[in-house]
Structure 1
Amino acid sequence: MRRVKSLVDTKALFCKNHVKLPKKIDLDSELKSLAYLRKKHNGDSHHDIANTLEKIATAYNDIGDPNNYLNYSLEVLLIRQQLSKNKVNAEILSSLFHIINAYQLLGDSSNSLKYALQSLKISYALYPNKNHPNIANAMNKVAIAYNDLGQHENFLQLSLEALKIREDFLGASHPDVASSYNTVALAYRKKGEMQKFYDFALKALEMRKKLLGPEHQDIATSLNNVALAHRSLGNYSIALDYANEALAMRKNIYSNYHADIVSSYDTCAILHTDIGKPQKSLELLQDALTIAQKIYPPNHPKMASINLNLAIAYKDLDDLENFLKYSFISLNMRRTLYGDKHPDIADSLNNVAIAYRNLGDHENGLKYALESLNMFREIYEDKDHLDIARGYVNVANAYHSMGDIEKFFQNALKAIDMSKKLGYWFNTLIATVLTNLAICYKNLGQLDYYLNYTTQALAIREKILDKEHPDIANALYKCAIGHYNLADESSFFKIAKKSLSMFAKIHGTENVAEVANLFQAMAVFRFKANDYESFFEYSTRALDVRQNLHLEAHPSLVVSLYFVARAFGCMGDPQKEEIYLLKALNMKKVILDCHRIYISLDNAAELVFENTPGVLLDRKEERLEDSLERRHLVICHHPDCRSRCVELKTGLEREGYKICMNQSDRSAKSIESMFEQIEMSSAILVFMDKNLNEDRSNRLEILFAAEIGIPMIGIKVDDDFELQEWLLNLMVDRKMFDLDRVKNFDLFIKKLAREVELIRI
């Protein structure tokens, strides 16, 4: 029987030879050798057969075939156990290491831990001083198995112990020490300590480059991990550079079908999603899935991960059905793999929650978000962790979508505090929750807080996204709203112009609702500064965009028409002012009648950034439903006729009518409330005297009443009065009363009241 090599000078052996790169195994040649050896030894167990089987297993691992890697490794272990008569030795330990690796590649965490614990027990038996690289190797295997089972505290503790053993035994510069740095980095990542993740990943990369030359599979692994570390710190562009370098190196080292290439495609895809390129992400993930399906079983952690990332790519492409579909595929795979509780299950639950929320199913969105958060908190024993912070973000957003502002605030602020502690700040999740916080503060009237949180969200997006990403344009737009609400014209114009430029580049047109809103806000600022030419320019540009966007009556069009009317008035064109004001008022009435949306032009400057400015009224609140409200009459008159109007008003009030005869009677603080009284009236009594033609307010009232079909009755109070053409056309076939020639005033009032009732009927 072949004697196992002495372990006396093991330290020298590891330190001297471990830096040599293994030669690539010729699989075909080794398969031929195996056939020859089986024939030579008549199928009996033999060391040469075991060694050749191990080479074949390793070759299958090198080409990314974990199934054959496992099968041949198991056969090696069986032969070596037979030859050693179940006594432990270094060769059996080596076989166990290969089996553990294979089970990890296949996603079988339970068997991975089972064989890893065996290997650690054998290592302690072989090396009683407990200070040997193989003990460190076994510890690493156990650590990684614990990680796969979601036990991240054990993962970190054992990884650090393995690192110390390797440093003590092998010195500060050795490939195995670099490997331990890499494992410790991943352990810190799982713990949510991202700066330490980056520090150890970078140490591993630098040491591997120094020891292994310019191109090596371990260097590619470190490049990929440094990419992930930069991503966790929000450095997405730098991360993508590292990820692309890792992918290129792996393509040079391996054939197309290898697990490491799948991993690189996956990393590059995630980063393209992060920087707002979901189509590229989808293409990379589809490539990854094609390879993964050839090398992995259907229920494998990597398959679940790819499906989860596919879901995210579909979400960013607004394909919400596929977003939900692939989120559930990933969730079901992970439940099959891990049972009831695992960080990856909680991660998939998070995605399902977001999918439901985006589809408008807010109850299921909240249900799955809470299930995810509670699982994360249980796994990490409610200690600060990146996954828990993400869980709070998702729950906060779920409550926000349901309108539960109190619970939104509770969870959002927890997410922000925890993210700051963990250094997990520069990411889209935090940007989103900051934006939602801003919106809530705005609704509460706390405009300083709105600007503060939108500014923070903008800073995050500018750091992590491409310069011309739509989310940056939208974040700038929200900051512009903040400066507008605080009347900070200088800051508003600076940010608004940047936002307008980005929207134009992104959409290739100005026909975007946000662009119209920004133009309208610019107009308001210039009006306040008495810059009427700019007021006119920006108002008409806003109207042009909105007319292109809305072919039918729309609340935002009402606002724009109103501002253009004001702009024409400021520019000294009262005729066009009347035209646009009447258009605005008429459209306002159509929207109220048809859609029960009430638009207040008194507050037009506050409606600039509302894409649907207006309040949806309940039936009981509709201002035109109550027939009693329509009993009142409006007397349209010039102030010089006030005494005659008071006389008529008193007489009609005795008949039970409510009369509005001037601005104070109409509770009118503005032109809009004046017109609302006309809208709600039964009829308009037009006092016709020599001043009527010169009174702009009367003219607008009469034109509006005619536009919306309110009946009008002429009350002549001046024999010298002559109807101008505009009024003559409106009063054709309308009843006229001559108050100037009345002898019996009471009889006159009776006749007028009868006419009003006929009109009402």
Structure 2
Amino acid sequence: MTRTRLGHDHPDVATTLNNLGLLYNSMGRYDQAEPLSHQALEMRKQLLGENHPDVATSLNNLAFLYKSMERYDQAEPLFQQAFELFKQLLGQEHPHVATSLNNLAGLYNSMGRYDQAEPLYQQALEIRKQLLGHHHPDVATSLNNLAGLYNSMGRYDQAEPLFQQAFELFKQLLGQEHPHVATSLNNLAALYYNQGRYDQAEPLYQQALEIRKQRLGENHPDVATSLNNLAALYKSMERYDQAEPLLVQALEIRKQLLGHDHPHVATSLNNLAFLYDEMGRYDQAEPLYHQALEMRKQLLGENHPDVATSLNNLAFLYKSMGRYDQAEPLYQQALEMIKQLLGHHHPDVATSLNGLANLYDEMGRYDQAEPLYQQALEMRKQLLGHHHPDVASSFNNLALLYYNQGRYDEAEPLYQQALELYKQRLAHHHPLVATSLNNLALLYSSMGRYDEAEPLYQQALEMEKQLLGHDHPHVGTSLNNLAELYRYQGRYDQAEHLYQQALDILEHRLGSNHPNTVTCRENLESLRNDLSQ
């Protein structure tokens, strides 16, 4: 209609094309969005000249599309052109310049180039404060963005006050029940989730969900996102019975709103599959992982970071099932794809190296696992800093490799470094601290240093009871570990009692056929057989 009234070459036609492109981008219909965004850009250049604010806006929009598609190498020059054009036309200190700085910083954040993102986010924040005053929604947005970067970098102590400031500012400016307030609650909850402060994260995720339902309706993409976030929290707490219905709801909302073939639907399929994988329900996980993988290939192309993620997830499933010959080529494909798409030095490359190394470790191919673990560790130190929780995870992984090889003297300092780093960055009471205590205790037990192992096992057990509840699967695993120690020491009645407690928890929470339950049952049966002879 716009073309009929105004002709094909009119600025309003370009605006309509641009708006339609934005709509298709939000719907995940990228193949339809791209030509419209290009047309809008070319029309504006032709009608308004190369140096016009609307041309800069079109460059930004096209860059956003490429960022959504994770075609970062195409997004970056467009964001940079838009930034330079806004600076040239509007001056260094204009709200559009701040927005452009923010956009470019967001791209670098997504690419793992945190050192380039930080100063841009800081500049955008300062410009907005200066031009708009300290109490403005755009200032709150900048605070959120900078906090999100620090959260990604594991600099949680810097992220928290910024998230809190943004939350208070949005509440004050927009009211208690505004969608931006829900987003701020969600961001702060995500920070607490990363820190293992689950009791603080849960009510915030729930509040965000309720606000979104009330303000946006029960069937809205942001409601599906909130359901997913709360489910992820419950999955980490192994409250699987609460996580599953939330993931199913999120999947159904996305199918209804976005259609059955949409990237967000693929993400929901992946999330549900990951839950089933963790629960040991492998037969339900596998077809969902396959569906997510095929959908991503179809919608995003064969070479896309989300396709690599799907390959990694399917490989993890096959590793869990002991189907190592199927897992290996998937891990290798994912690693090569991520290197090609994101560069050889990216946090996701370190994660892929770690996954492949873990497979080789489980297969006993230690000579292949070790250099990959070491590469992942060095990359994480370089990209994330020496004190990031992912660095602690790499220490743990390398220590486990050495433990499996009987290289106990090399494993011990790595386990100790991981434990100290987790305590320093995540607080002294965190599930990963409990895991590290368990790892170190298992090492000491294997070395016959039982007097050093016992207090660590007990600390881990008490911490898990306090953080996760007395009937949590991790508590069951810790009881099993302590029972093993007592068995080695000949304290058989104490061992039997703990094995039975562990088995009761694991059967109740994970089911009789879960691998952890089977291991515990076999341990108890083996002890009773020994005692009966």
Q: Where on the TM-score scale, by shorter chain, does this alignment land: which range?
A: 0.7 to 0.9
Aligned Cα root-mean-square deviation (Å)? 4.1
Equivalent position of 2:58 in the other structure = 95
- Distance apart, 1:93 and its partner CA: 2.6
The match for 2:170 is 208
What is the CA deviation profile of residues 82-135 of structure 1, one whole-angstrom value per residue up to 9, with x for unaligned ones? 22222233x22322322222121110112222122212212322333x332222
Amino acid paired to 1:204: A
Contact 1:278 1:314 in 2 (8 A): no
One-letter amino acid of the structure 2 residue matched with residue 472 of structure 1: V
| Distance of 2:237 and 2:301 partners within structure 1 | 31
The letter of the residue matching 1:159 is Y
Three-state SS of the structure 2 residue aligned to 1:377 is: helix
Tell me the residue number matched to 1:376: 380
1:503 — aligned with what? 503
Alignment partner, residue 146 of structure 1: 108
Tell me, yes or no, if structure 1 residue 301 matches structure 2 residue 305.
yes
Question: In the alignment, which of 125, 128, 137 is matched to residue 163 of structure 1?
Answer: 125
Q: CA 1:417–1:151 in 2, change beyond 3 Å: closer, same or farther?
A: same
1:249-268 equivalences in 2 (<5 Å):
253=216, 267-268=229-230
Distance across 1 between alignment mates of 2:28 and 2:172: 26
CA distance in 1, matches of 2:69, 2:218: 19
- Deviation string for 1:343-385 (max 9, x for gaps)? 11111221222233334444433343222112223334x5332
1:106 aligned residue? 69
CA distance in 1, matches of 2:325, 2:177: 42
Determine whether 1:236 maps to 2:198.
yes
Post-superposition CA distance 1:703-742 (Å, at most 9, x none): xxxxxxxxxxxxxxxxxxxxxxxxxxxxxxxxxxxxxxxx
Tell me: CA distance 1:324–1:194, structure 2 relative to 1, closer, same or farther (3 Å): farther
1:37 matches 2:40: no
**Larger relative contact order (C-alpha < 8 A, sep ≥ 6)?**
2
Flag the 1:326–1:134 CA change in 2: closer, same or farther, 3 A. same
Q: Which residue of 2 aligns with 1:27?
A: none
Judged with a 3 Å threshold, the aligned counterparts in structure 2 of structure 1 residues 480 and 172 are, in CA distance, closer, same or farther, namely farther
Distance, in Å, in 2 between the alignment partners of 1:402 and 1:158 is: 46
- Conserved 8 A contact 2:143-2:165: yes
Matches within 5 A, 1:307-386: 308=312, 327-328=331-332, 330-380=334-384, 383-386=386-389
1:121 equivalent in structure 2: 84
Equivalent residue runs for 1:320-469 within 5 Å:
327-328=331-332, 330-380=334-384, 383-423=386-426, 428-469=431-472
What's the CA shift for 1:301? 3.4
**Residues 512-551 of structure 1: pairs in structure 2 closer than 5 A:** 549=525
CA deviation after TM superposition for structure 1 residue 309, in Å: 5.3
* SS at 1:442 equivalent: helix
User: Judging changes above 3 Å, is the alpha-carbon distance between structure 1 residues 153 and 180 closer, same or farther for their aligned structure 2 residues?
Assistant: same
Within the candidate set 236, 248, 251, 1:274 is matched to 236
Aligned residue in 1 for 2:531: 560
The runs of 5 or more residues in structure 1 that have no matched partner are 1-35, 518-545, 551-555, 562-583, 585-761
> What is the CA-CA distance between 1:188 and the residue it aligns to?
0.4
Q: What amino acid is the match of 2:464?
A: R
CA distance in 2, matches of 1:256, 1:372: 41
Does residue 1:177 correspond to 2:177, yes or no?
no
**Residue 48 (str. 1) matches residue 12 (str. 2):** yes
In structure 2, the partner of 1:9 is: none
Q: 1:286 to 1:248 in 2, by over 3 A?
A: farther
Q: Which amino acid aligns with 2:383?
A: I
**C-alpha distance in structure 1 between counterparts of 2:466 and 2:331, whole Å:** 28
SS in 1 for 2:147: helix
In structure 2, the CA distance between the partners of 1:74 and 1:206, relative to structure 1 (3 Å rule), is: farther
Q: 1:76 to 1:404 in 2, by over 3 A?
A: same
State the shift of 1:274 in Å: 1.7
Q: Evaluate the alpha carbon distance shift between residue 497 and residue 241 of structure 1 in structure 2; reply closer, same or farther with a 3 A threshold.
A: farther
Unaligned runs of 5+ in 2: 252-267, 272-288
- Determine the C-alpha separation between the residues in 2 that align with 1:301 and 1:220: 28
How far off its partner does 1:399 sit? 1.4
1:409, distance to aligned residue in structure 2 (A): 1.6
- 1:80 aligned to 40, 44, 51, which one? 44
CA distance in 2, matches of 1:300, 1:247: 30
Query: Cα distance 1:483–1:411, how it changes in 2: closer, same or farther (>3 A)?
Result: same
Please give the secondary structure, in 2, of the residue aligned with 1:173. coil
Identity of aligned residues (%): 26
Give the letter for the 2:389 counterpart. Answer: L
What TM-score, normalized by structure 2, do the two folds share? Answer: 0.76
Return the TM-score normalized by structure 1: 0.55
Higher Rg: 1
Higher helix share: 2
Q: CA separation in 2, counterparts of 1:319 and 1:277?
A: 27
Q: Deviations over 1:152-178 (max 9, x none)?
A: 122122212211221222223322122
Aligned letter for 2:335? L
The question of whether the paired residues in 1 share the 8 Å contact of 2:422 and 2:432 is answered with no
| Equivalent residues of 2:17, 2:37 under 8 A apart | yes
Match of 1:19 in 2: none
**2:309 & 2:445 partners in 1: Cα distance?**
38
1:105 and 1:348 map into 2 onto residues whose CA distance is 22
What is the Cα deviation at residue 65 of structure 1?
3.3
Would the aligned equivalents of 1:311 and 1:322 in 2 still touch at CA under 8 Å?
yes
**Partners in 2 of 1:261 and 1:307 — Cα distance?**
28
- The residue type equivalent to 1:503 in the other structure is L
Is residue 275–residue 465 contact of structure 1 (8 Å, CA) maintained in 2? yes
1:60 aligns with 2:24: yes
